[in-house]
Amino acid sequence: MIEELSIEDTVLLSIEQMFDSPENLDLIAAFEASEKGKGLEYYLKEAAESDERKGFARTYLVKDSVTRELAGYFTLRTGLITIQAAGDKFNALPAAELSNFAVNTQYKKRHPETEGLGKYMFRSFVMPLVRKMAKYIGIYSLYIYALPEERLIDHYKTMGFSRLPPKQEKFVQRHVKPKYDEGCVFMYQVL
């Protein structure tokens, strides 16, 4: 018997898909990303619904278990990593892309005690969901295109992400990086 892909809520936070509740539309409209993450805010408000309906990606809302406020969100999609082999040859590795990942700055302002919220969301919801998916389909790794800020790149390293050697990173960026991730840094972790 195949088990459901649901992920357990934690004491602090709960997870649901974007359209699981009518209240989510209002929560999405009020979501605010950091100043440098305005593209993540735009995605949630303007593009996530279309990607959901087309089956391109799945967006998950992370809510406060008590207040039901939107604490953050993340988007997953299938993908692949192309790693250069010899010459022009390459290997394609099956992967999941964490294509969007953001904390609601308004939530953080109202709840300053939530230090490390992004890391908590990642460990409690993103990784368990990706690991469950990997039981049913081939997923070798999880990858993300990080904004090119050392502080953020270092933060993702504490969450288990790594960078490729420079030559391999350039190869990946030339062959599979989406246009909307222009200028971002490819990072990955093996499951």
- For 101-155, how does the pLDDT look when each residue is reduced to its tens digit (9 = 90+)? 999 999 999 998 888 899 999 999 999 999 999 999 999 999 998 888 899 999 9
Average pLDDT value for residue range 148-169: 90
pLDDT of res. 60: 96
35 pLDDT above the threshold of 50: yes
Token pair of 35 as six digits: 């100043």
Name residues whose C-beta falls within 8 Å of residue 129's C-beta, 6 or more positions apart in sequence.
Answer: 5, 7, 60, 76
Q: How far is CA 15 from the centre of its chain?
A: 13
What's residue 73's pLDDT?
Answer: 97
State how far the Cα of 173 lies from the Cα of 1, in Å rounded to an integer: 40
Tokens found for residue 53: 């309906």
pLDDT at residue 1 in the model: 44
AA identity, residue 156? Y
User: With 90 as the cut, is the pLDDT of residue 23 above it?
Assistant: no
pLDDT at 42 over 90: yes
Q: How many Cβ atoms are within 10 Å of 93's Cβ, its own excluded? A: 17
